[in-house]
Structure 1
Amino acid sequence: MAGLTAAALAAVGFLAYQASATAPDRPAQKDRPSASASPAPGKPGKPGAGDDGKRTQAVPPRSGSGERVVYSLGDRRVWLVGEDERPTRTYEVSPSTVSPPPGEYAVTSRTENITGSDGVPIEHSVVFTSVDGVVIGFSAAVDGSTPAADPEQRTGGIRASREDGAALWEFAEAGTKIVVVD
């Protein structure tokens, strides 16, 4: 029952935020900082979910428990979830052409600087599986780009902004749980 109450309060808070986000005495949504640029409440100095309404974006259901990285294939979004079940950060990604099947994985390797499977120099590569010989992992292009993957290439790089890639790098050490959902 407490879970339902918390969910209802979160939904009401989000709706109240949306209603006030474009009120005359507040800056328009586009003028506000991005979700990936602001610290999370109660976590000074740590990257967080920001105050643009995305902190209330719920972690997908059936995405496991405990500290983990959640990657939603359908939403093209990643959540960094703390031990307290609260997301410390959430952000959009550009998916690879080869997707991992939904399931639970763990970080198998990390490389600070390397060339991606698409030939682009990348940083903060966090690998968690392979599919048909294609290595799958999160990364950020050194040039900061996050273009859609070329459908003619078989690539496994799930690309984020450099800032979000750095946050994932700090969060996901070897062995960290990765949960992929539809």
Structure 2
Amino acid sequence: MSARLPSWAWVTGLTTGAIAVVAVLGVQADQGTKPVAAATPPKATATADPKPSAAPSKKPTAPAVPADSGTGRRIVYSLGQKRVWLVDASDVARSSFPVWPGTVAPDPGSYTIGTRTEATTGSDGVPVEHIMYFAQKSGVFVAFSNAVDGSSPPPADPGARTGGIRVAKQDGKALWTFGTAGTTVHVVE
């Protein structure tokens, strides 16, 4: 007849064995390769730029807000540059982005955002959103908007009379948030 070992003896034996295995693995790991510091520090490389700059390179900045574009909080739209600036009350441009104008352009001057429409279909058949009407010329309404799918419009048929000024989708959101009803839109050449 064989004697049974009590459960505490089994637990003690297994625990002792596990500690021995961990100790052996620790010794083996200690004998492995170790990282070492380089004997000589790395050398600086020369630059081909005759005027090195200490400042990190920045993304290109947007053109300055056009002169004679009003003062205070406003949206500035340049017909020639095909660009919009969102200018805060301290006359600082908070955002600027390119636009794709329609075939009917507003005359230079100062306007006010009137009707705002969340979404509709543009005169070119493209679903648009963030529509902000601010002018009318020769029976054509002029408004900022962005395509719902984020696409830019194809070149307009020169015979078509469209007043939509399209912006990229993310710019449309910024313009919608900034251009509440009553916001001034200053159009410059």
Q: TM-score, normalising length from structure 2?
A: 0.68
Runs of 4+ in 1 over 6 A off after TM superposition: none
Give the percent of matched residue pairs that are identical in Structure 1 and Structure 2.
51
Matching residue of 1:165: 172
Alignment of 1:44-83 (within 5 A): 52-55=59-62, 57-83=63-89
In the other structure, the counterpart of 1:114 is 120
Unaligned runs of at least 5 residues, structure 2: 1-51
1:81-160 equivalent positions in 2, closer than 5 A = 81-147=87-153, 148-160=155-167
Does structure 2 retain, via aligned residues, the 8 Å contact 1:94–1:149? no
Shift of 1:153: 1.0
Conservation of the 8 A alpha-carbon contact between 1:71 and 1:77: yes
Secondary structure of the 2:185 match is strand
Query: Any idea what the Cα deviations from partners look like across 1:47-85, whole Å, max 9, x if unmatched?
Result: xxxx52325x21000000000000000000000000010
Provide the C-alpha distance between the structure 1 equivalents of 2:174 and 2:150, rounded to a whole number of angstroms. Answer: 14
Rounded Cα–Cα distance in structure 1 between residues aligned with 2:176 and 2:95? 13
In structure 1, the partner of 2:9 is none
Q: Equivalents in 2 of 1:117, 1:93: separation in Å?
A: 17
Q: Which amino acid aligns with 1:137?
A: A
Check the 8 A contact 1:54/1:90 in 2, yes or no.
no
The structure that has the greater radius of gyration is: 2
Q: Could you tell me which residue of structure 2 aligns to residue 46 of structure 1?
A: none
Q: Where does 1:28-47 land on structure 2 (aligned, <5 Å)?
A: none
State the alpha-carbon separation in 2 of the partners of residues 61 and 86 from structure 1: 13
Pairwise CA distance, 1:150: 2.6
Q: Which of 152, 175, 182 matches 2:182? A: 175
Gaps of 5+ in 1: 1-18, 27-50
Aligned length: 136
> How far apart are the structure 1 equivalents of 2:61 and 2:102?
23
